[in-house]
Chain A
Amino acid sequence: MKTLVLFAHPALHQSRINKAMLKAARGVADITVADLYADYPRHEINVEREQKRLLDHDLIVFQYPFHWYSCPPIIKEWFDLVLEHGFAYGHGGEALKGKRWLSAISTGAPASAYTPEGRHHFTLRQLLSPVEATANLCGMPFLAPFVFNGSLSANNTARDEHVAAYVRLLTALRDDHVDIERARRRELLTAADIGDIMLQVTHG
C-alpha cells in the first residue's frame, strides 16, 4: 500500500519517542512522511496540497502524542480543513473511501491508567472513538491503534523496541504483508504483539 505518515508534535525538541519514531519512519523506503508543524509552522494548511496527498496514498498513518485525550491542535485543524464536505464525506464525498487509517499514538501514562479502574477511567479505544468515527464517516477502515504507553517513564530499551516495531509495521503495511482484517479486529497494537497481524514473516 502506498503509505503516508502525517506526523505532528508541537514541541519536537522535547519529544523522545515520537522524535525517534519520526526519524525511523523517514528511513523506511518508498513511503511518504510529512511533519505537519514543519510544513505549516504558521498553521496555514494548504488544503489542495493535502487533499492531493491523500488521493496519492492508500494508507494514512496519523502519528502524534496523545494530549488531553486528544490530538495536537494542528491535527484537529487539518481534520477541519482537509476533510471537506463533498471530498471526504457527505454528498459526493467519497474520495477517501477504502483507504486505510492507522493511528500511531504515544501516551505519557502507563497502559494500566487507561482502564475503567485506572486513573483515567476510560479505555484508550473509548477515548479514541472520535478519531474512529472520523475514519468511519470518511469510509476508511480503521486499524487497531499502534500504541506506546508510559512514555514519561519509559527506558531506552522499551523505546528502541517500539521504534523497531514501528519500522516493521510500516514496512509490512507498505508491502501488503499485514492481515488487515485481523488488524481491524484487535483492540490495540503494541510492539509486543504486532507479530500476530503479519501475513508472513518478512526478512530484511
Chain B
Amino acid sequence: MDSLLFEAFIYLAAGVCAAPIAQKLGLGTVLGYLAAGVIIGPLLGLVGAEAQRLQEFAEFGVVMMLFLVGLELEPQQLWSMRNRLLGLGGLQVGGTALVCWVVAWLVGTPWTVALAIGLIAAGSSTAIVLQTLEEKGLMRSDGGKASFAVLLFQDISVIPILAILPLLAIHGLGAETATAHDAEKGLRLLDGLPVWQTTLLTLLAVAVVVLGGHFLTRPLFRFVAGAKVREAFTATALLMVISIALLMSLVGLSPALGTFLAGVVLANSEYRHELESDIGPFKGLLLGLFFITVGAGIDFSLLAQHLVLVCLLTVGLIVIKAAVLWCVASLFRLRGSDRWLFALGLAQAGEFAFVLLSFVGQNGVIATEMARMLTLVVALSMLVTPFLFIVLDRLILPRMTEAQARSEDQIDVVGVAIIAGIGRFGQIVNRLLRSHGYETVVLDLSAETVDTMSKFGIKAFFGDAARPDLLEAAGIGEAKLLVVAVDDREHALNIVKYARQRRPDIHIVSRAYDRLHVYDLYSAGSDDIIRETFDSAVRAGRCALEALGKHPHEAEKAVGAFVRRDRRSLLRLAELYDPDIPPMQNQPYVDLAKRIRAEEDQMMTIKGAEKRNEIDRAWMPPPVTDKADDA
C-alpha cells in the first residue's frame, strides 16, 4: 500500500510540476512530461522497474484518445477521408519501411532483421502527435487532418505487421520463439481456429461495436442518466471504452481502432459532449503517465556506452522518416506550413514500436542487445519530437506567407451559438436561430428533454452546462454567443460567471428568474438579461387592456411606455441593490421602490396640461391659442 501511494505521489508530483511549467514556457505539455520522466527516472532514480509495467497500462490513454477523436468525426467525414487514409497512410508506411529496410541492409544487417527494423520504424507516435496537435489547435488544419489519416492507417497496419514479424525468425536467431509466441498471444481467443472462422469472428466483433454503439448505447445512457448519479455515467462511459478494447484484443484487432470506431458511431449521439468530458480527464492523466514512463525508461547507461551510434541512429531515423513524409505530402498536394507540420510532426517512431521491439526480441528476430538499443532510439526520437514542434513554431511557421495563414483560419470554423437549457425557453431561441441558418449546440441536464428534442430532429446533448469541461467540449472557446436558458438560478449564474471569465469577448444572453436574479446576472457579466415571464405578462396585460375597451394601438403604446418605465426603474433600483442584504431589509432600496410605485400611480391621476407623460405627448395637437397665431 505504502509503495503504491509513494509511486502515485512521485508520478503525480512530477506531472503537476512539469506540465504547467512546460506549458507556461511554451514548450507543450508532452515535453514537460517527458522531461519529468527523465528527472524522476534515470536522473534521480526515484522510479525504476515498475515504469515498464506502468507504461503498458498508460498506453490505454492512446485508446481513449482515439475514442475521443472518433467522437469528433462523423461517419461521413471518415468516409471522405478514405483516399488520404489509404493513399497517404499506405505510401508513408510502405515508403518508410522500404527505405529503412534498404538502409539497414546496406550497413550490413541481415535482410530479415533489416525488414523487421523497417516495419517497426514505419509507425509514429499517436500519443505525442495527437496530443500536440490538439494543444496547438491544429487538428482541423490540412496538415493536422493528413497526420491523423496517417496515424489511423498505421494503427490498422499493425495487424499485418504482427503477422509478418514471427515469420522472419525462421532465418533469424530462432532461440526462444515458441515461449514468447505463447506469452504474446495468451489472451487471444481465436488461436487454433480455421481462417474463415477467425475472419468471421473478427467481422462479428466489429459489427457488435458498430451496431451496439448505434442501438444499445442510447437506451443504456438514458437509463443511467435518468438515475441522476454522476459517477454512474462516468463509470458507464469507462466501461464501454474498456469493454470495446477488451473485445478487440480478444479477436486480435487493435483496441485503439475499435474504440475509434465506437467513437465515430457515437459522434452523432446526444451524449457525445458528456462522454467527451467524462473520458477526457482519464485520457489526459493516462497519456501524461505514458509520456513520463517513456522519459523514465530511457536507459542512460546504454546511451553513454554507445553515445555516438545511438545519436546517429536517432538522427538517421528522423531524417529518413521526415524525408519520406515530405515526398508523400508533396504527392498529395500539401503545401507550406501544412507540409512542414506533417513531415516533422510524424518523424518519430511510435509507442507501438516498444511493443513490437519486445515482441521481436523475445521471438528472436532481433538480438536482445540490439532490441534494447533500438528501444532507446525510439524513446529518443520521441523525446526529440517536441523540440521539432518548437522549431516548426518558432523558425519555420513565421516565414510562411500571411496569405496562407489567413486561408487556414477559415477552415471548418463556424460561428456557433451554444444554448444551455433546451426547455420551453431555450427551444424558442433555438428554433429562431436555426431557422435563420445559425449553427447551434444545445445542452440540457435532463436526458428526457434531450430525447424528446432529438425526436423532433433538434441536435441536443445531455450534460450539465455549469461544468466547465462540458462547456469546453461544446465549443465555448470558439462560439460567438452563449444563451443561458436554464431554469435554475444558481446554475445560470455559474454558467455566466464561467463563460465570462473564459471568454471576455463572448456575447451572453441569459434568462432571469426575477429582478434580483437580473442584478446577479448583470454583475456576473451577462450582456442581455431577459426576465423569463416579463414579456409574456406584458402581452397578457395588453390583451387585458384591449378587452377592457382600449383601442389596440393605444394599448400597444401604453404597454411600450410601461416596459420602458420598468426598465428605467430596474436600472435605478439596481444601483441600490446589495447582494449581501436581503432587499426587504435594504432601506434605501425599499424607499426607492415605494417612490417608483407612487410615481406610476400618479401618472394616471394628473390631468390637463400637466399631463406630459410620453404617451400623451406623442401626436399632441398644439394649443388652440398657438393655432390661431399660425393661421
Contacts and interface: CB of A to CB of B under 8 A. Distances in A.
Contacts of B622: 85, 90
Contacts of B49: none
A91 B614 contact: no
A24 interface: no
A90 B618 contact: no
B513 to A, nearest CB: 25
A47 B564 CA distance: 13
Contacts of A80: 618-619
Given A42-B560, A44-B560, A44-B564, A91 B619 contact: no
By DSSP majority rule, is chain B's interface helix, strand, loop, or mixed? helix
A22 to B, nearest CB: 23
Interface residues of A, number: 9
A44 B564 CA distance: 9
A47 B630 contact: no
Closest 8 CB pairs of A and B: A85-B622, A91-B626, A90-B626, A90-B622, A81-B618, A44-B560, A80-B619, A44-B564
Nearest to A42: B560
A90 B626 CA distance: 7
B609 to A, nearest CB: 11
A84 B560 contact: no
Interface of B: 560, 564, 614, 617-620, 622-623, 625-626, 629-630
A139 to B, nearest CB: 14
20 contacts: A42-B560, A44-B560, A47-B614, A47-B617, A80-B618, A81-B618, A81-B619, A84-B617, A84-B620, A85-B620, A85-B622, A85-B623, A85-B626, A90-B622, A90-B626, A90-B629, A90-B630, A91-B623, A91-B625, A91-B629
Interface in A107-154: none
Contacts of B626: 85, 90-91
Interface in A78-93: 80-81, 84-85, 90-91
Contacts of B618: 47, 80-81
Nearest to B563: A44
A90 B629 CA distance: 8
A44 B562 CA distance: 12
Contacts of B560: 42, 44
Contacts of A47: 614, 617-618
Contacts of B619: 80-81
Given A84-B617, A84-B620, A90-B630, 15 more contacts: A44-B560, A44-B564, A47-B614, A47-B618, A80-B618, A81-B619, A85-B620, A85-B623, A85-B626, A90-B626, A90-B629, A91-B623, A91-B625, A91-B626, A91-B629
Contacts, number: 24
A91 B629 CA distance: 9
A44 B620 CA distance: 16
Contacts of A85: 620, 622-623, 626
B629 to A, nearest CB: 7
Contacts of A84: 617, 620
Nearest to A43: B560
B167 to A, nearest CB: 69
A38 to B, nearest CB: 16
A23 B70 CA distance: 46
Interface string A43-84: 010010000000000000000000000000000000011001
Contacts of B614: 47
Q: Which of B560, B622, B629 has the most CB of A within 10 A?
A: B622
A81 B617 CA distance: 8
Contacts of B620: 84-85
Contacts of A90: 622, 626, 629-630
A84 B616 CA distance: 12
Nearest to B620: A85
B205 to A, nearest CB: 55
Contacts of A81: 618-619
Contacts of A42: 560
A84 B617 CA distance: 9
Contacts of A91: 623, 625-626, 629
A80 B620 CA distance: 9
A130 B623 CA distance: 22
A4 B96 CA distance: 70
Nearest to B629: A91
B477 to A, nearest CB: 30
A90 B627 CA distance: 8
Nearest to B619: A80
A42 B564 CA distance: 12
A41 B622 CA distance: 28
B182 to A, nearest CB: 73
A81 B618 CA distance: 6
A60 B626 CA distance: 26
A153 to B, nearest CB: 31
B401 to A, nearest CB: 29
Contacts of A44: 560, 564
Contacts of B564: 44
Contacts of B623: 85, 91
Contacts of B629: 90-91
